[in-house]
Amino acid sequence: MRPAGGGPRRRQDPRKSLRFAVVTEACSLMPTAGLAILGAMIIVTHTQALSTKGRDDCVDITEAVQAAVGRAKIRQGVATVFVTGSTAGVTTIEHEPGLVKDLKDAVRRLFPADLRYAHHESGGDDNGFSHLRASFIGPSLSVPVAEGRLQLGTWQQIVLIDFDVRPRDRTYLIQLLGD
């Protein structure tokens, strides 16, 4: 049977209806509590300053992040920590002297300071290894927040690591999304 107007009949692409069915199924699996939160969600951004020693200085910033969650009165959501600058990183670790030393030793083996890096020729400074170490660790970390608390393990702390060759005044952001 031809559609009104006499044009050719088009077949529906079965992939389109399948894609719709998958999206519909995924939506039906979402918890209703999650959907209710969307209307009341807030975003709060805190800027923190920190002086470091450079040379792989590993600083525990967990309390500062938790304090930001408390000040914002976020009960459920996510905290994202982001360090500005290309020679520092943020991660989690058990912040105890032995493991901090192990981490420093590991990045020093991966990216030795005594190698010549192309950055030394093009960038005008001798911290190519610092940039690579920071890129390897990454500049940000997201941590779930539930009942107003960061959902970290018992021995897990948030750390900022400064890989640069000298002491620095660092800035990092704590962005909170939640209710």
Cα–chain-centroid distance for residue 11? 45
The listed CATH number (2.60.120.460, 2.40.128.720, 1.10.1060.10, 3.40.190.10) that belongs to domain 40-178: 2.60.120.460
In 3-state terms the chain splits into helix, strand, coil percentages (rounded to 5) of: 35, 30, 35
Which strands, in side-by-side order, build the sheet including 88-93?
57-60, 157-162, 88-93
Q: What is the pTM of this model?
A: 0.78
Q: What is the pLDDT along the chain (179 residues), one digit of tens a residue?
A: 444 555 555 555 444 443 333 333 333 344 433 333 455 789 999 999 999 999 999 999 999 999 999 999 999 999 999 999 999 999 999 999 999 999 999 999 999 999 999 999 897 789 999 999 999 999 999 999 999 999 999 999 999 999 999 999 999 999 999 99
Q: Rounded to whole angstroms, how far apart are CA atoms 141 and 175? A: 10
Contact 37, 76 (CB under 8 A): yes
Provide the 8-state DSSP code for 23.
Answer: H
Domain segments of the chain: what residues?
40-178
* Strand segments (E) across the chain: 42-52, 57-60, 77-83, 88-93, 140-146, 149-150, 157-162, 168-178
